[in-house]
Amino acid sequence: MSKYGHERLFLNENGENEEFSLHFDSTGSRRVCFKELPEKKAFFIARIGPHLTIQTG
């Protein structure tokens, strides 16, 4: 897990902590963190909020 990986831990669809690394930009400065649920042909959205800390250099 990266230096800021703890910021990417969210509750998954089973109520357990899971790292969500997939994301996309939404309106404004919001990011949507998600994962694919192929067996359900769906996505699970873990978080919608401001950009998280990033590691530089």
For 2-24, the pLDDT digits (tens) are 666 777 899 999 999 999 989 89
**Is 43 a domain residue?**
yes
Q: What angle do CA 17, 46, 7 make, to 5 degrees?
A: 60
- Give the model's confidence band at 56: pLDDT under 50 very low, under 70 low, under 90 confident, else very high: low
Does residue 56 form part of some domain?
no
pLDDT recorded at residue 27: 83
Q: Answer whether residue 26 is part of any domain.
A: yes
- pTM for the predicted model, two decimal places: 0.76
Q: Is residue 55 part of a domain?
A: no
Q: Is residue 32 part of a domain?
A: yes
Is position 46 within any domain?
yes
Dist. CA 41–CA 51, nearest whole Å: 27
Arithmetic mean of pLDDT over the chain: 86
Q: What is the arithmetic mean of pLDDT over 38-53?
A: 91
The total of structural domains in the chain comes to: 1
Domain that holds residue 24: 5-50
Average pLDDT over residues 21-35: 89
